[in-house]
Amino acid sequence: MMAMNYKFDREAVSDAGAFGKVVVLLGGTSSEREVSLKSGDAIYKSLKAQGVDAYKVDPANDLFDLFDVLSEATFDRAFIALHGSGGEDGTMQGALETLNIPYTGSGVLGSALAMDKVRSKQLWKGLELPTPSYAVYARGVSMDEVIGAVNLPVIVKPSGQGSSIGMSIAHDLQSLRTALEEAAKYDAEVLIEQWIQGAEYTVAVLGEQALPLIKLETAREFYDYEAKYLANDTRYICPCGLEVREEEAFQLLALDAFRSLGCQGWGRVDFMVDGQGEPWLLEVNTVPGMTDHSLVPMAAKAAGLSFDNLVWRILETTVAMGDQ
């Protein structure tokens, strides 16, 4: 198997002072708050170490208080490290656009679509991109009717949550009912997705480029919250072991899925590969984790970028042509 070469354009910003005053938004009020705090702190420390005039703001209070803080502090750009609702779903992106503050990652539409697992799948289905069959359970809908329409096993997911929060696999009708009740605690809509037996991969996207694939292996039934952030036996395999042509094909698919939702800047695309070698798109993360267990920094390292390089290049995406 040949090694893949990753080439990156020269840095668009060579002087940290060109970024101006940068706010790192972290924490927030979503169920992913603790992960966001870790991601944001790692980003903040990296920016400070590289000479960037960076500050941390935790928008855990009322949004209007945040408006005052951001506008009065006259920040030049924002690095969004908020995971989940309120930070990754277009809400914060809209607030920053109202304040005319450039920010990292996808815009309002891309953020909202990617955060909504049901709408993502509807769009991919319309574009004939491969994604597992699914059903939707919503509050007020007969649970029995939905249960009778799916083929087990399935994986049940709150539509607007990340970090595998509220997710579980159902192998029988009783476990499906329990899974739906659990997922409905987190979201008004619940995605019931056909379980794909196979290998799980993730593709990090940086700018217009897909980074090396990472294959995920866990002793748990699936790559859940504990496997992501707590377990020490989760395996991250990179190089992923695929032939170069196959990896390149999956990277192109990931870019298609990413762009189809209107996403930009940086992010991560997760998918499964079944026993016949066919890929199945699962979801796009527009503000992936940046902790010591996170996947985008691993992929960047495999492509020759240190954590500091990665953070710098993500922040560069906020600098428009001629804005130097």
Q: What is the pLDDT of residue 85?
A: 84
Q: Tell me how crowded residue 291 is: count the other CB atoms within 10 A of its CB.
A: 19
Among residues 88, 268, 294, 313, the one annotated as catalytic is: 268
- Helix (H) / strand (E) element for 242: namely none
Is 226 part of the annotated catalytic residue set? Answer: no
Is 270 part of the annotated catalytic residue set? Answer: yes
Average pLDDT of each block of 10 consecutive residues along the chain (324 residues)? 54 89 92 90 97 94 74 91 90 93 96 93 96 86 75 84 73 84 82 90 95 84 52 78 94 97 96 94 94 88 94 91 41
Among residues 200, 229, 267, 313, the one annotated as catalytic is: 229
Residue type, 175: S
Among residues 163, 164, 168, 260, the one annotated as catalytic is: 163
Query: Can you give the pTM of this predicted structure?
Result: 0.87
Contacts of 5 (CB under 8 A, 6+ apart): none
What domains are defined for the chain?
Answer: 114-129+197-307 (3.30.470.20), 134-194 (3.30.1490.20)
Alpha helix positions (H), the chain: 33-49, 63-72, 91-98, 108-115, 117-126, 143-147, 173-183, 225-229, 244-260, 295-302, 307-316
Is 292 part of the annotated catalytic residue set? Answer: no
Is 283 part of the annotated catalytic residue set? Answer: yes
Among residues 46, 106, 285, 294, the one annotated as catalytic is: 285
Among residues 27, 28, 31, 32, the one annotated as catalytic is: 32
Is 32 part of the annotated catalytic residue set? Answer: yes
Degrees (nearest 5) of the Cα angle 81, 83, 87?
Answer: 80
Among residues 77, 289, 294, 313, the one annotated as catalytic is: 289
Q: Tell me how crowded residue 73 is: count the other CB atoms within 10 A of its CB.
A: 11
Residue type, 64: F
Is 200 part of the annotated catalytic residue set? Answer: no
Q: What is the pLDDT of residue 101?
A: 95
